[in-house]
Structure 1
Amino acid sequence: MSKLIRTSTIALSLDYLLKGQLFFLKQQYKVLAVSGSDMHLEAVATREQVQTIDIEMQRSISPLKDLKSLWQLYWLFKKEKPLIVHSITPKAGLLTMLAGYFAGVPIRMHTFTGLIFPTKTGFLQQLLIGMERVLCYCATNIYPEGQGVRNDLIRYKITSKNLQVLANGNVNGIDTSFFNPGNFTDQQNQELKNRLEIQATDFVFIFIGRLVGDKGINELVAAFKKMQSQKANVENLEPNVLPNNDNAKIKSQNSKLLLVGPLETELDPLDKNTLQEIEENPNIISVGFQKDIRPYLAISDCLAFPSYREGFPNVVLQAGAMGLPSIVSNINGCNEIIIEGENGTVIPVKNTAAVSDAMVKMIEDTDWRTQLQQNARPMIVSRYEQHLVWEAILAEYQRLENQIPMPKIKE
């Protein structure tokens, strides 16, 4: 049985982004999962039933630690002699492809799950572009997670190698039997709403992800505050003097903003005003990191996801599978999953007014919202069911394996 090594910078990515995939591949390959050791790597070993190896990799640029990780990967590959190494996430990609190149691994694959450099400028952007070019030079095969990522790799001239998007995109697809609103009863939903003090008449917007600037949290919180201010202004007017402004005609229906994800204060902290609003606004509910996000999706009405950059965001797939329409930024991945007016709406990046207007419309235009809700789950099931992605990845492994020339037999 041929050997396959999968790597990621942090074990969280193996645990969540590749959930179930390694066990599936284990039926055809001897699979090793490599990342820094923590509870997530332990979860991978238990759930996927694969061997795990502890090699710590830094997310940020750290020359000495990066060299140590590169050396450890090189000797691992020399020892294990894998047929395939396949990396996800930026730093693991660079180190794995370099180590695989020098160790002579026959098939060296990297999947770009997102690009950092398009949002950077100056020297840092040029440095990141250079690192990506080295990665691609050392890889034998490159796989953008979606068409948007592919277009950026071409536009910035990162590589001239063939860029193939597997299946319809995404690194793992989605288990639509797991992400299914039918898994939750009305009683379960009501119990969670009671615990979070969400009323039956509340319209619930949900965000899922890290609470950092790049995810658009500053704009989202400001937009929610703006929407509430408009609503308050309208309710204080006499009925016969309502302004002729669609954005101001907000019904008395209350709204909540549910934030599901960890607050990160190191790499990309939120503005002080945003943090204060989250803390003081009783209609903003922040529940932190949740291992199972489905119960929170089940009690929500719409995903609000104004991120600055993504590869192919799982949360938009997950929300759609749970029957939620989405408000997303016009960025890679999001604008491939969400089709304007069919299963959500696509808005400009870094635009507080656009976020607010979309939230108002989602509440006010019930016919439009109902149409989006009806389309949300079927559009995800038909394009991104998990086994479609897994089978495409396995088929690609087998295709590449069959292309390796057989060693000549000496007479």
Structure 2
Amino acid sequence: MKHKLMRITTVPISLLVLLKKQLVFMSQYFDVLAVSSAGDALQQVGKEAPVRIKAVNMTRRVTPLQDLVGIFKLCRVMLAERPSIVHTHTPKAGLLGMIAAKLVGVPIRLHTVAGLPVLEKKGLLKWTMGITEILTSACATHIYANSPNMMRLMIDRRYCTGKKIKVIGRGSTGGIDTAVFNPDLPGIIAAKTETRTALRLKDDAFVYCFIGRMVGDKGISELVSAFCNLYKQNPRMILLLVGPFENELDPLPAAIHKLINEHEGIRWLDFQTDIRKYLAISDVFVFPSYREGFPNVIMQAGAMGVPCIVSNINGCNEIINEGLNGLIVPVKNIPHLEQAMARLHATPTERLNMATASRAIIQSRYESDLLIGQIFSEYQLQIQKYNNKN
């Protein structure tokens, strides 16, 4: 009989976009139950992966009463399923999932830390979120940081002990399927002209691209400001922004929001399930985030042969090697960001060399099949250790 494995995320899009390939693989060896808040993406996971799904609503905000209800519902699911392993991702799913798994006695309780929102918070909220990280780690049997720098942050801030935390492979939550994120696929090449036409791009347009949530923590204000300065000098430049606004959680300043909607050089698109065609028409990917775990989108851009400009934070500065596959700039620094964007526009040979190196680096370090095998080996190891103790 197969061991039961529960994978839990706060929102279903994480299961669909980041973890679906892992779910498909693990279903060969485990009875897999994917749990997340309700939504179309969760139903899609159930259709596209040979796993069972269960909706348990969780919020991404500080909501104590709703969180208690979430813990209760997760406990009921775990008592009914009796999983051998519960593996959680994202902060709220980690907190609720690890507490529930501890309460009902799940033997192997794993949590992956892919980012620390607490780093950009202040006051009581910062203290509260710090306590939740400590509590999540205390309830887990093992913690997996998705980058070496993230592991050091967790230990240095005493969110977790060094004995409990490790990095699987070279890092990343799900790795990148470079056979899918491949700029030479016939369908991707064929879609370039259509995509450029749909976005009203001239033949000589130079495209900077950002893909992610349109929120302050992603450095959107700095990116828009830097681009607008450059656009005054070269109106052939285009800034392509792909991703949803989150006005309730982290709204952008009204002036930046207005520029995104009205500036003639900016193109905005809401969330897209397939971002490859947008990366394929991009000359440079720009990601000036304030905090990250190990951002998938930078690896996706690299796999598509797009050089990156990133902020000097953990995750970003581990994927990008300065001058080799991109440039690294200080956080929240518009002048340095503008200079880096201008540099890659002005140096096509350097840009081409970076593009070539980018795909090779992702293939050698972060191929998804390699990471999935390493995660499976970790599951097997933890099951063996538990069996030996009992």
Tell me the residue number matched to 1:329: 311
Q: Distance in 1 between matches of 2:195 and 2:95?
A: 43
Q: Which has the larger radius of gyration?
A: 1
Alpha-carbon offset, residue 188 of structure 1: 2.5
Q: 1:366 to 1:77 in 2, by over 3 A?
A: same
- Is 1:296 the counterpart of 2:298? The answer is no
Among 217, 220, 225, the residue aligned to 1:217 = 220
Is this contact kept in 1: 2:188–2:280, CA < 8 A? Answer: no
Do the aligned partners of 1:203 and 1:253 also contact (CA within 8 Å) in 2? no
**Structure 1: how far apart are the matches of 2:374 and 2:92?**
25
Deviation per residue, 1:228-285 (Å, 9 max, x gap):
22x1xxxxxxxxxxxxxxxxxxxx6821000111122111111111112112211101
Work out the CA distance in 2 between the residues paired with 1:82 and 1:9: 19
Determine the structure 2 residue equivalent to 1:201.
Answer: 204
Contact 1:83 1:106 (C-alpha < 8 Å) held by counterparts: yes
Q: Does 1:47 align with 2:69?
A: no
Q: Runs of 5+ in structure 1 lacking a partner?
A: 232-251
1:86 aligns to what SS in structure 2?
strand
Candidates 329, 333, 345, aligned match of 1:347: 329
CA spacing shift, 1:52–1:187, aligned 2, 3 Å:
closer
Q: State the alpha-carbon separation in 2 of the partners of residues 263 and 104 from structure 1.
A: 39
Change (3 A) 1:45 1:185: closer
Does residue 144 of structure 1 match 2:145? Answer: yes
1:35 Cα deviation (Å)? 1.0
- Cα pair 2:221 2:252 within 8 Å, conserved: yes
| Structure 1 residue aligned with 2:356 | 374
Per the alignment, residue 173 of structure 2 pairs with 171
- Structure 1 window deviating more from structure 2 (116-125 vs 144-153): it is 116-125
Contact 2:231–2:265 (CA under 8 A) maintained in structure 1: no
Question: Aligned pairs, how many?
Answer: 387
Task: Indicate if the aligned counterparts of 2:225 and 2:334 stay in contact, CA closer than 8 A.
Answer: yes
Please tell me whether the aligned partners of residues 188 and 276 of structure 2 are also in contact (alpha carbons under 8 angstroms): no
Conservation of the 8 A alpha-carbon contact between 1:9 and 1:91: yes
Give the Cα–Cα distance (whole angstroms) in 2 for the partners of residues 209 and 41 of structure 1: 20
Give percent identity, aligned residues only. 43
Alignment of 1:46-85 (within 5 A): 46-85=47-86
Contact 1:343/1:372, CA 8 A, preserved across alignment: yes
CA RMSD of aligned residues (A): 1.3
Q: How far 1:121 sits from its partner (Å)?
A: 2.0
Q: CA deviation at 1:19?
A: 2.2
Distance 1:188 1:11 in 2: 28
Which residue of the partner structure matches residue 26 of structure 1?
27
* Residues 338-381 of structure 1: per-residue CA shift (max 9 Å, x gap): 11010001110111111111110010122221211110101101
The aligned amino acid for 2:243 is G
Scaled by the length of structure 1, the TM-score of the pair is 0.92
| Residue 357 of structure 1 pairs with residue 345 of structure 2 | no
**CA–CA distance in 2 between the matches of 1:182 and 1:399?**
38
In structure 2, which of residues 355, 373, 388 is the aligned counterpart of residue 391 of structure 1?
373
Equivalent AA in structure 1 for residue 373 of structure 2: E
Residue identity opposite 1:178 in structure 2: V
Q: Deviations over 1:371-403 (max 9, x none)?
A: 111101011011011101100000000001001
Whether the aligned pair in 1 keeps the contact of 2:181 and 2:304 (CA below 8 Å) is yes
Amino acid at match of 2:267: I
2:110 and 2:144 in contact (8 A); partners too: yes
Partner AA of 1:302 in structure 2: V
Cα distance in structure 2, aligned partners of 1:28 and 1:187: 38
Number of the residue aligned with 1:319? 301
Separation in 2 of the partners of 1:109 and 1:53? Answer: 19
**Residue of structure 1 aligned with 2:191, choices 188, 191, 209:** 188
Q: Is the 8 A contact 2:141 2:164 kept in 1?
A: no
TM-score, length basis structure 2: 0.97
Any idea what SS the aligned residue of 1:20 has? Answer: helix
